[in-house]
């Protein structure tokens, strides 16, 4: 199970390359406040994070080739 701080760090790393609007940031902050794990995120946020990590805009996905 992921901790909320880890999820926050993953989204922050992705946001460096794909900034969120103020509205998106507020929505994400609310979602992260309620999420205890990646699986708790709504599908659109799971997909957004995985896409950012897959295309190189975010950190490597945990358990991936070079992400540990």
**pLDDT at residue 63 greater than cutoff 50:** no
| Average confidence (pLDDT) over 56-64 | 52
Task: Establish how many alpha carbons lie within 13 A of residue 37's alpha carbon, considering only the half-sphere containing its beta carbon.
Answer: 3
- Segments making up each domain of the chain, as ranges: 4-54
Contact criterion met (CB below 8 Å) for 58 and 49: yes
Tens-place pLDDT, residues 16-55: 777 889 999 999 999 999 998 999 999 999 999 998 888 7
Task: For Cα atoms 64, 20, 10, give the angle at the middle one, nearest 5 degrees.
Answer: 25
pTM over 0.75: no
């Amino acid at each position: 199970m992921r901790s909320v701080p880890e999820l926050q760090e993953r989204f922050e790393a992705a946001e460096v390359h794909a900034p969120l609007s103020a509205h998106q940031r507020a929505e994400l902050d609310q979602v992260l406040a309620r999420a205890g794990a990646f699986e708790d995120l709504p599908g659109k946020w799971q997909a957004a994070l995985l896409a950012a990590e897959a295309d190189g805009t975010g950190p490597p996905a945990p358990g991936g080739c070079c992400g540990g």
